[in-house]
């Protein structure tokens, strides 16, 4: 892409912000795993609605920096920080740095996740522990460490990204399915605990979305998946991001403990 074309696209993005149906002006958000894919689009969508966004990433500094550049071109602030959210101490350090240089957050989006796919008969403890550690323990770590910020906010929001796989299972993804199902249980229980503190806790469950992960799947497998989707197409990351934008907004202030499916009718 040429520099001129990139500038034009950024300008168009800024114009399109006027079309955003929800307002998050003055709020601050943290999106984990936001350097690419669904996390990237979530960070940009929140910024389009007016929120300042802290971008967590584990290894792709270049990707995170590009997301931050896009956000700042919209006239809102951004900040990037590398941390493995499966490590409690690293997450504590991230919280201290975000609070010092970015401020206390109002919106926490737990998006970071990994997959190590194997049939169960071939799955070892390392593959199991890695996925559970990032996908489920990471959500606990962030919720636990940032809870005070959210309790102090007038619009505290926790939005957890789960998966259709956590709802219906999938061959070769026992560890991933368990981690994502765990997020759903965590979301519902935490919603009941935090409701009286003014914090809503919800989850978004994407189906098969056009990301790098899906694009790496063999074509014949993707064709079989499509046959199971009534909408007859894969979802787009932006469609997941718009759901997060709604749940973060004041319009969703009475929605908590909900799992919002974005799956084209594959699981209902």
Instruction: For residue 139, give both structure tokens.
Output: 């959500």
Instruction: For residue 138, give both structure tokens.
Output: 């990471």
Sheet holding 200-206, edge to edge: 78-82, 52-57, 28-31, 107-110, 157-161, 200-206, 259-262
CA 127 to mean position of chain CA atoms: 22
CA distance 139 to 216: 26
Cβ pair 179, 136 in contact under 8 A: yes
Who contacts 257 (Cβ-Cβ below 8 Å, separation ≥6)?
187, 188, 191, 192, 195, 201, 202
Tokens 């795993």 locate to 33
176 among known catalytic residues: yes
Kindly name the residue from 176, 246, 254, 267 that is annotated as catalytic.
176
CA distance 7 to 1: 10
Cβ pair 162, 168 in contact under 8 A: no
Tokens 């996925």 locate to 131
The alpha helices in 156-236, defined as continuous H runs, are 165-168, 174-194, 212-215, 219-226
Cα within 13 Å of Cα(18), Cβ side: 3
Instruction: Give the residue numbers marked as catalytic.
Output: 176
């Amino acid at each position: 892409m040429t520099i001129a074309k990139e500038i034009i696209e950024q300008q168009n993005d800024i114009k399109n912000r006027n079309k955003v149906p929800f307002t998050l002006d003055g709020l601050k958000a943290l999106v984990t795993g936001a350097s690419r894919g669904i996390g990237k689009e979530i960070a940009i969508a929140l910024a389009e609605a007016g929120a300042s966004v802290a971008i967590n990433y584990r290894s792709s500094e270049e990707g995170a920096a590009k997301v931050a550049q896009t956000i700042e071109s919209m006239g809102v602030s951004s900040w990037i920080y590398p941390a493995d959210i499966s490590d409690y101490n690293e997450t504590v350090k991230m919280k201290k740095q975000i609070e010092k240089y970015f401020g206390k957050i109002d919106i926490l989006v737990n998006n970071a996740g990994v997959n190590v796919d194997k049939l169960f008969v071939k799955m070892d403890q390392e593959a199991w522990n890695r996925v559970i550690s990032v996908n489920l323990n990471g959500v606990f770590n962030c919720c636990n460490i940032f809870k005070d910020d959210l309790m102090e906010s007038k619009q505290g929001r926790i939005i957890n990204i789960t998966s259709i796989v956590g709802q219906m299972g999938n061959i070769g993804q026992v560890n991933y399915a368990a981690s994502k199902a765990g997020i759903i249980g965590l979301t519902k229980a935490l919603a009941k605990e935090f409701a009286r503190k003014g914090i809503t806790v919800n989850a978004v469950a994407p189906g098969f979305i056009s990301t790098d992960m899906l694009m790496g799947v063999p074509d014949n497998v993707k064709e079989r998946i499509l046959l199971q989707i009534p909408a007859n197409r894969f979802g787009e990351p932006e469609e997941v991001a718009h759901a997060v934008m709604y749940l973060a907004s004041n319009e969703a202030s009475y929605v908590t403990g909900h799992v919002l499916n974005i799956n084209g009718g594959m699981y209902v």
